[in-house]
Amino acid sequence: MPVQAELFTRPQSGDRFRSQTDPVLQLEEINVNFDGFQALTRLSMNIGVGELRCVIGPNGAGKTTLMDVITGKTRPDSGSAWFDQSLELTRMDPVAIARCGIGRKFQKPTVFEALTVFENLEIAMKGDKSLWATLRAKLNSEQRDRIDEMLGTLRLGAERNRRAGALSHGQKQFLEIGMLLVQEPYLLLLDEPAAGMTDAETEYSAELFRSLAGRHSLMVVEHDMGFVETIADRVTVLHQGQVLAEGTLREVQANEQVIDVYLGR
Ligand SMILES: Nc1ncnc2c1ncn2[C@@H]1O[C@H](COP(=O)(O)OP(=O)(O)OP(=O)(O)O)[C@@H](O)[C@H]1O
Ligand SMILES: [Mg+2]
């Protein structure tokens, strides 16, 4: 039976100071097999509330597949994925999973190119209505303020009335992150968010992600080790669908197996 998103009640403000060691996500013995190819093998990992976890590993290690499992795009052959210790994600559909507070950013930015930057954030904020109903419905002043604040956070204040299609690649990446943030997710999954960004944009996104940790929990897949070093609390290394190592970046960088399969000598 699929779990109804409505059963999930968001923690109220008093819960915000729950112990950071509480897991927001617990993956247990996840197996994913694509027509005989074992993409994830008995994969287990926990992410704590407010933690910023980086997931690294060679191409084909299973990083994107892992995000597909968490968001309901891929159903594992076995194993479980507990969200906030109460919802079993592998039994829910993608829409229900998104509604209960898990946001995902794919590698390629997906914004509405023909609409303005402001309108993109407006649509994201009012998520579940149709596009035109959303644009016709007036924002209240509180929502307007929140979008204005988000434009500042994204450094897109000057671009608010520009068509999103006219933005640089990096600006589109920031806009898409903003479209997730206005939905106030608990857990944000970001697949190679710094790909295609300039050095300055990469540096600012590191700063932004650090500022989000604590208020949100984040899982970031990234190949740029400098970026990982700047942002990560803990790092999980995947290899051939399995967890090869986990710890601080220093710890995994010193791990012989990690050096052999990923970092090189
Ligand atoms: N739908 C699918 N059907 C068959 N094989 C798949 C499918 N999705 C992924 N795979 C395979 O599973 C393996 C893991 O892929 P995945 O995309 O998760 O790797 P990744 O760690 O994200 O790699 P990259 O760093 O290149 O993005 C790859 O060998 C890929 O070819
Ligand atoms: Mg990938």
Ligand 1 and 248: CB distance under 6 A = no
pLDDT band at residue 108 under the 50/70/90 scheme: confident
pLDDT band at residue 137 under the 50/70/90 scheme: confident
Looking at residue 265, its pLDDT comes to: 61
Q: Which of 75, 91, 83, 94 is nearest to 33 (CA)?
A: 75
Looking at residue 196, its pLDDT comes to: 86
What is the distance in A from the centroid of ligand 1 to the CA of 263? 20
Mutate which of 40, 56, 63 for ligand 1? The one with the most ligand atoms within 8 Å of its CB, which is 63
Ligand 1 and 39: CB distance under 6 A = yes
pLDDT band at residue 20 under the 50/70/90 scheme: low
248 Cβ contact list (under 8 Å, min separation 6)? 232, 234, 235
Where are the domains positioned within the chain?
23-263
CATH topology of domain 23-263: Rossmann fold (3.40.50)
Ligand 1 and 101: CB distance under 6 A = no
Q: Which ligand gives the minimal distance to the CA of 60?
A: 1
Mean of pLDDT values over 32-36? 97
User: What pTM was computed for the model?
Assistant: 0.88
Mean of pLDDT values over 76-99? 96
